[in-house]
Amino acid sequence: MPASRIEAGVRTFDFTAQEFSSPFVDGARPTPFWSYVPGLLPLMRVRRGEPLRVRLGNRLSEHTSIHWHGIRVPNAMDGVPFITQKPVYAGETFTYEFTPPDAGTFFFHPHCNEADQVGRGLAGLLIVTGDETEPFDDDIPVVVKDWRIGDDGQFLPLYTPKGASRAGTFGNIRSVNGVSQYRRNVPAQGHVRVRIANIDPTRIIEVGVEGASAQVIAIDGNAVEPFHLDSWRMGPAMRLDLAIATPKPGESLRVIDYAQAELYTLAHLTADDRIAPARRNPPRLIPSPIPEPDLSTAIAQSFVFGASSGPLGEYIESLDPNDPLTAIILDTLCAGPQTFWAINRRSWPNDGHRNLPPPIARLSAGKSYKFTLQNATPHSHPIHLHGHTCKVLSASKRTIPVHYADTVLVTPKERVEIAFVAAPGDWMFHCHILEHIETGMMGYIRVA
């Protein structure tokens, strides 16, 4: 937990984006990772309604910024270089100041050169407290992120045309909270809160729990009517809070990622001799004050997440990812960074923001909107809208409860409907597979 202090009533943190060095695996060569504070992936815990200030210094050799993912900040604090602020150039500082309006599990990361900056470690968890009616018997962050590191300890390429033109480039070392096997003791026979945050640039996980019963209590930080967790798919940037009933002393439970044929244990929790106070149900969470969209007047707009216009894009969209020939074709076609993804056939240019495109939609502040997100590709895309917490109404290929979220997974050929009340500003709207951002699947909406 990075140090903070109260300055004239404001909770203040000093962050400096810089390179540190440490071995990631026992006995391996040191890796030059990037972080805001000494140590990997800082975890901030702040209170809802408490003014927050974060001074960001930049000791990297390239510009950076911090985006507060999922927090309904004023537009000027949203951390998007060239859109909401000047880039924080090497040697410069920028001060973020806002008061988190909602409690829950959030995270933060730069909003430029993302595959590289996040891939090297620039990210952290932001827990905003204040949503509990009574405390849980433990509160356990589970921050999921892979690393791509060679035998020499150096990062392997974090962007590859081959990955970018498909589901993304995967890491070769998995981790939770920066360690490869995350274990922890928990009080027995109680209820613990587990905050899962998938902050990986690429990986989609499917979370389940074995050895205990678990309820979903929040999605992307937003309280839901608790429901039993069977399994829940989480793309990059998505969060899930669970209430897990812990077993008898000495017994253990596991939080598991089922997405791959080979299961990966995200957290191994063992009940110790501390017996939690008797309580039949987990504590309730207090819902956040999210503006409720009016579906009877909501203005409908639709967005197709697909390939860029032109023959290359249309061809890429038509390829079958399971056909071995596809890989060979894409390797040839997509060599070198270029844009091949798009929203409504418009690609975000990969030219260092020399030419900012016009907004992809213009909305009126305070009005309700219903967006249909349509996936025209054979890959899943976690779609994120900045500055808003959206009501997820339906998904055409899955049964999901109506819930609030800032990032929704849209599976191949699926249609997902979301609704929200527009807040003023220019807000980025993009896929959160970081290589898909860099190859065009991004735009912004202008709300005035």
Residue ranges binding ligand C2O (CB under 6 A): 67, 69, 109, 111, 237, 384, 386, 428, 430, 432
Query: Nearer to ligand C2O by C-beta: 109 or 391?
Result: 109
User: Of ligand C2O, Cu ion, none, which one sits near residue 239, judging by CB under 5 to 8 A according to partner kind?
Assistant: none
Query: Nearer to Cu ion by C-beta: 34 or 444?
Result: 444
Query: By the 8 A CB rule, do 155 and 101 touch?
Result: no
Query: Nearer to Cu ion by C-beta: 263 or 304?
Result: 304
Query: By the 8 A CB rule, do 64 and 37 touch?
Result: no
Torsional class of 345: left (φ above 0), alpha (ψ -120 to 50), beta (otherwise): left
DSSP of 166-224? TT-PPPSB--BTTBSS-EEEEEETSEEEEEEEE--SS--EEEEEESS-EEEEEETTEEE
Choose among 214, 219, 210: nearest CA to 192.
214
Tokens of 125: 């968890």
SS3 264: strand
User: Of Cu ion, ligand C2O, none, which one sits near residue 103, judging by CB under 5 to 8 A according to partner kind?
Assistant: none
CB of residue 239 vs ligand C2O: minimum separation in angstroms? 11
CB of residue 227 vs ligand C2O: minimum separation in angstroms? 26
CB of residue 108 vs ligand C2O: minimum separation in angstroms? 8
Note the maximum CA span of the chain: 64
Torsional class of 39: left (φ above 0), alpha (ψ -120 to 50), beta (otherwise): left
CB of residue 437 vs ligand C2O: minimum separation in angstroms? 7
User: Of Cu ion, ligand C2O, none, which one sits near residue 430, judging by CB under 5 to 8 A according to partner kind?
Assistant: ligand C2O
User: Of Cu ion, ligand C2O, none, which one sits near residue 148, judging by CB under 5 to 8 A according to partner kind?
Assistant: none
Query: By the 8 A CB rule, do 248 and 189 touch?
Result: yes
Query: Nearer to Cu ion by C-beta: 275 or 327?
Result: 327
Query: Nearer to ligand C2O by C-beta: 127 or 244?
Result: 127
CB of residue 70 vs ligand C2O: minimum separation in angstroms? 8
CB of residue 188 vs Cu ion: minimum separation in angstroms? 42
Q: At what angle do helices 311-318 and 324-333 cross, to 10 degrees?
A: 160
CB of residue 375 vs Cu ion: minimum separation in angstroms? 9
CA dist., res. 438 & res. 430, Å (int) = 10
CA dist., res. 193 & res. 137, Å (int) = 8
Look at the block and give the residue holding tokens 């590191």: 149
Q: How buried is residue 87: exposed, middle or buried, by Cβ count under 10 Å (0-12/13-18/19+)?
A: buried
Query: Nearer to ligand C2O by C-beta: 186 or 433?
Result: 433
CA dist., res. 64 & res. 81, Å (int) = 8
Please state, in angstroms and as integers, the Cα–Cα distance from residue 411 to each residue in 120, 140, 167, 391, following that order: 27, 29, 12, 18
User: Of Cu ion, ligand C2O, none, which one sits near residue 193, judging by CB under 5 to 8 A according to partner kind?
Assistant: none
Query: Nearer to ligand C2O by C-beta: 384 or 436?
Result: 384
Binding site residues, Cu ion, CB under 5 A = 381, 431, 433, 436
CB of residue 198 vs ligand C2O: minimum separation in angstroms? 11
DSSP of 72-86? ---GGGS--BTTTB-
User: Of Cu ion, ligand C2O, none, which one sits near residue 431, judging by CB under 5 to 8 A according to partner kind?
Assistant: Cu ion
User: Of ligand C2O, Cu ion, none, which one sits near residue 433, judging by CB under 5 to 8 A according to partner kind?
Assistant: Cu ion
Please state, in angstroms and as integers, the Cα–Cα distance from residue 398 to each residue in 259, 330, 418, following that order: 16, 29, 14
Query: Nearer to ligand C2O by C-beta: 174 or 239?
Result: 239
CB of residue 190 vs Cu ion: minimum separation in angstroms? 39
Query: Nearer to ligand C2O by C-beta: 60 or 428?
Result: 428
Please state, in angstroms and as integers, the Cα–Cα distance from residue 249 to each residue in 243, 269, 294, following that order: 18, 11, 49
User: Of ligand C2O, Cu ion, none, which one sits near residue 370, judging by CB under 5 to 8 A according to partner kind?
Assistant: none
Query: By the 8 A CB rule, do 383 and 410 touch?
Result: yes
CB of residue 190 vs ligand C2O: minimum separation in angstroms? 33
User: Of Cu ion, ligand C2O, none, which one sits near residue 233, judging by CB under 5 to 8 A according to partner kind?
Assistant: none
Query: Nearer to Cu ion by C-beta: 63 or 436?
Result: 436
User: Of Cu ion, ligand C2O, none, which one sits near residue 237, judging by CB under 5 to 8 A according to partner kind?
Assistant: ligand C2O
User: Of Cu ion, ligand C2O, none, which one sits near residue 115, judging by CB under 5 to 8 A according to partner kind?
Assistant: none
Q: Which residue is nearest to ligand C2O (CB)?
A: 69
Tokens of 443: 């735009």
CB of residue 105 vs ligand C2O: minimum separation in angstroms? 13
Query: Nearer to ligand C2O by C-beta: 72 or 191?
Result: 72
